[in-house]
């Protein structure tokens, strides 16, 4: 039965999720929310939470790329925007529930504008990707130039290069006196990733999702069938923007700071590396990618190795040359082949019903 699961990992599917899949999700949720916290200390929870927070960012990119066929280099634009919106509004208003929502909605609005500009402008392929990169670079430069004391929004200094420290932790919406501590942030980030994962999976199985995959496969054919591909692409762009904004808001909640490096080239590169290493056309893949790379960089930083950049470069080259589809799909294919061989199937026969 498990090979249904591996097949799911390997190929993007517009099919409805199976019972096995649901069991898998519940099992993972159980492990992450119930069993693991018992064995982890606060410091480990902190390290793990940021993986889940960044996983949302990775999901936003892989959703766009793997399922909608749009390679956006600039999801970091909405990531940074979400973080800054949360920081500025929370420090001005004193409460955090509204700022949290703003941190998701405003990036979505921005994605709507940018998406309209790009999608309806019929930019294709490389030029589309470059445009998204240029936008995040403009934001990076603009925010880095706000060091002077005249750059305030309300009471909050934008702080330029240094960003905004002291961002308040998230208050419990029905009990503003209590704020989320490190372990609460862990639970919240795990729940958000699970919700996002399930939500995206269901969305892909819906009519919207299947049209989207159709747009990726052959836009012209879909247009001929009567659908307006631009509307669906724009919709995907806005959803991805919201996800990235959520990631940015959670990042601000997690670390209690925001900085222009959220918009920067380094972070944009990392997102792409996560997705490519994990697998761009799956939902699990990028999450795995984030985990691997974050663990690698954090671990390397304590080894006195001194050349984290070198290692990352090798990883990226290897990932592109060797794992064409990404780690998870390649593993999935491998496992699939193994199970089929064990069952005595002809490895050349396709696995379609």
Partner 1 sequence: MDTVFTYLYQVGFAVSILVLISLGLALIFGMMKVINLAQGEFLMLGAYFCVLTSSMGAPLWIAIPVAGVLVGLFGVVVERTVIQWLYGRVLDTLLATWGVSLLMIGIVTTVAGPQSHSISSSVGRVVVGGFVVPGWSMVIIAGAVLMLLATYLILRFTNLGLIVRGTMQNPQMARALGTNTSMIYMLTFGFGSALTGLGGALLVPLFGASPTMGGLYIGKAFIAVISGGPLPLIGTMSASGLYGSIDGVMSYLFSPVLGEIIVLLVAIVMLRLLPSGITGGMRKGI
Partner 2 sequence: MKLTRRQFTKLSGGGLAFASLQGTLTSAGLANEAPIKVANILDQTGGLNIYSLKQMKAVAMAVDEINTAGGLLGRPLELIFYDAQSSNQLYSQYATQALLRDEVHAIHGGVTSSSREVIRPIVQRFGGLYVYNSLYEGGVCDRRHVSTGMVPGQQLDALCPYVINERGGKRGYILAADYNYGHITSRWLQKYIRDLGGEDLAVEFIPLDVSNFSSVLARIQDAKPDVVWSALVGAAHMSFYRQFHSTIGKDEMMIAGTTYSIGREQVELSPEEGEGIILATSFYDSLGTEAADDFVSRFHEYSGETDYIGEYGEGGYRGLMLWAEAVRRAGSPEPDAVIEALGDTSFRGAGGLYTIDGQTNHTTMNIHVAVQNDKQDFEAIQTFDQMDPVDTQLVCNLHENPDDTTQYEVEL
User: DSSP letters of 203-248?
Assistant: HHHSHHHHHHHHHHH-HHHHHHTT--HHHHHHHHHHHHHHHHHHHH
Q: Does residue 310 belong to the site contacting partner 1 (CB under 8 A)?
A: yes
Query: Can you read off the two tokens belonging to residue 333?
Result: 């294919």
Kindly report the CA angle at 260 between 50 and 245, in degrees rounded to 5?
A: 55
| Contact mark string toward partner 1, 142..181, x via CB under 8 A | x--x------------------------------------
Question: Which of the ranges 2-10, 59-67, 159-167, 313-321 carries the binding residues for partner 2, by CB under 8 A?
Answer: 159-167
Q: Which ranges of the chain would DSSP assign to H, the alpha helix?
A: 2-10, 19-30, 36-39, 42-62, 68, 75-93, 97-119, 125-144, 182-205, 207-217, 219-224, 229-255, 265-278, 284-300, 308-322, 327-342
Shortest separation between residue 68's beta carbon and partner 1, angstroms: 14
Using CA atoms, how far apart are residues 292 and 138, in angstroms rounded to an integer?
30
Query: Can you read off the two tokens belonging to residue 305?
Result: 């190795």
The site partner of 162 among partner 1, partner 2, none (C-beta below 5 to 8 Å per kind) is partner 2
Q: Which of 1, 122, 307, 343 binds partner 2 (CB under 8 A)?
A: 307
Q: Give helix 265-278 / helix 284-300 axis angle, nearest 10°.
A: 120
Question: Which of the ranges 41-49, 52-60, 270-278, 291-299 carries the binding residues for partner 1, by CB under 8 A?
Answer: 270-278
Q: Which residues contact 155 (CB under 8 A, 6 or more apart)?
A: 91, 92
Shortest separation between residue 320's beta carbon and partner 1, angstroms: 4
HSE of 232 in the Cβ direction (CA atoms, 13 Å)? 25
Q: Does residue 111 belong to the site contacting partner 1 (CB under 8 A)?
A: no
Q: SS3 of 19, please? A: helix
Q: How far is CA 263 from the centre of its chain?
A: 14
The site partner of 137 among partner 1, partner 2, none (C-beta below 5 to 8 Å per kind) is partner 1
Q: Which of 306, 344, 347, 353 binds partner 2 (CB under 8 A)?
A: 306
Q: Which of 179, 180, 182, 205 binds partner 2 (CB under 8 A)?
A: 182
| Contact mark string toward partner 2, 11..50, x via CB under 8 A | ------------------------------xxxx-xx--x
Radius of gyration of the chain (CA): 21
Q: Does residue 159 belong to the site contacting partner 2 (CB under 8 A)?
A: yes
The site partner of 32 among partner 1, partner 2, none (C-beta below 5 to 8 Å per kind) is none
Q: What is the DSSP letter of 324?
A: S
Q: Which of 20, 131, 205, 300 binds partner 1 (CB under 8 A)?
A: 131
Kindly identify the residues of this chain, within the stretch 225-264, that bind partner 2 according to CB under 8 A.
255-257, 259, 261
* Residue ranges in contact with partner 1 by CB under 8 A: 71, 117, 121-127, 129-131, 133-135, 137-138, 141-142, 145, 265, 269, 272-273, 276, 306-321, 324
* Residue ranges in contact with partner 2 by CB under 8 A: 41-44, 46-47, 50, 141, 144-145, 147-149, 159-163, 165-166, 182, 255-257, 259, 261, 297-304, 306-309
């Amino acid at each position: 039965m498990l090979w249904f699961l591996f097949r799911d990992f390997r190929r993007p599917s517009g099919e409805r999720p199976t019972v096995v899949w649901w069991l898998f999700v519940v099992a993972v949720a159980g492990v992450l929310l119930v069993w693991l916290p018992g064995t982890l200390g606060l410091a480990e929870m902190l390290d793990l939470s940021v993986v889940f927070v960044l996983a949302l960012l990775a999901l936003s990119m892989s959703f766009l790329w793997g399922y909608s066929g749009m390679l956006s280099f600039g999801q970091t634009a909405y990531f940074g925007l979400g973080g800054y919106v949360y920081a500025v509004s929370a420090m001005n208003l004193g409460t955090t529930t509204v700022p949290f929502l703003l941190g998701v909605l405003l990036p979505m609005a921005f994605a709507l504008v940018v998406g309209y500009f790009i999608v309806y402008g019929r930019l294709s392929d490389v030029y589309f990707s470059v445009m998204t990169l240029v936008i995040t670079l403009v934001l990076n430069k603009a925010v880095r130039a706000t060091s002077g004391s005249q750059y305030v929004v309300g009471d909050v200094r934008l702080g330029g290069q240094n960003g905004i420290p002291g961002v308040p932790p998230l208050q419990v919406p029905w009990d503003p006196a209590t704020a989320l501590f490190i372990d609460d942030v862990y639970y919240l980030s795990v729940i958000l990733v699970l919700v996002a994962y399930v939500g995206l999976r269901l969305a892909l199985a819906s009519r919207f999702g299947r049209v989207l995959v159709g747009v990726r496969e052959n836009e012209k054919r879909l247009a001929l069938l009567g659908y307006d591909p631009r509307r669906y692409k724009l919709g995907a762009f806005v959803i991805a923007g919201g996800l990235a904004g959520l990631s940015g808001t959670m990042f601000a909640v997690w670390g209690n700071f925001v900085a222009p490096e959220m918009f920067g080239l380094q972070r944009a590169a990392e997102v792409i590396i996560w997705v490519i290493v994990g697998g761009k056309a799956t939902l699990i893949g990028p999450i795995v990618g984030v985990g691997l790379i974050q663990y690698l960089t954090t671990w390397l930083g304590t080894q006195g190795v001194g050349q984290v950049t070198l290692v990352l470069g090798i990883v990226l080259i290897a990932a592109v040359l060797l794992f064409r589809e990404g780690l998870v799909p390649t593993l999935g294919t491998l496992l699939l082949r193994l199970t089929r061989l064990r069952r005595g199937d002809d490895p050349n026969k396709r696995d379609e019903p």
